[in-house]
Amino acid sequence: MTLLTALGRSVGPVLSGRVLFSLPTRAPRFALTVDDGPSPATTPALLDALARHGARASFFLLGDQAEAHPDLVARIAADGHELGNHTWRDEPTWTLPVAEFREKLHATQRVLTAHGPVRWFRPGSGWPTEAHLAVAEQVGLRCVLGSAAAIDGSGAGGPRSARLLDLVVRRGTIVVLHEGTPGRRAVAATVDALLARTARRGLAAVTLSELAG
């Protein structure tokens, strides 16, 4: 399957609202989401930054990483954050045969639900096909992408990222950041600076479920 074909098959689900990009709300809050963890190189500092601001986030975790670092998954949940399914490893979801995707999605779900409820799914590299969405929906997972993202630092952000994100974050925005590798250590500083800026505007970072509620 080509990328163009996969994107074409995703247009219908996107237009029908099956893929979530933002959650409009009157409440002064936005959702902060972080992909590709957990990792000892990034997750502890990221959790510390969130704690300093009294903020909560949704962590879209990889199954293989979660299995390797159960202590970090436990801390994420214990700190009041939300767990999301980002499939088993960091790879483009749209390239996977449906049967393989189902196996990896379910394996990740088993690892994560040992630590808490999981209701959200984010495909690898941004886009699933309609068939992948159907598999996720069969286990009660809603597909979430986002409406604002850091580009620098392989998605972890850089010196300008907090300022640029602050320009576009509004009520109901879903922010996407990345952690999981030593090269993404900047994510903690990005979150620290962004939350300081959004707090001055009266905006609080919450989990997807809190924003949806």
Query: Do β-strands 174-178 and 204-206 pair in parallel, antiparallel, or remain unpaired?
Result: unpaired
CA angle 45, 175, 9 (to 5 degrees): 125
35 is known as an active-site residue: yes
Where are the extended beta strands (E) located within the chain? 19-20, 29-37, 58-61, 82-85, 118-121, 142-144, 148-149, 174-178, 204-206
Spot the catalytic one: 81, 166, 178, 192: 178
Distance CA 97, CA 108 (A): 17
Q: Which of 35, 36, 166, 192 is catalytic?
A: 35
152 has catalytic annotation: no
- Given a contact cutoff of 8 angstroms between Cβ atoms, the answer to whether 206 and 38 are in contact is no
Residue pointed to by tokens 């196996």? 103
Residues carrying an active site annotation: 35, 178
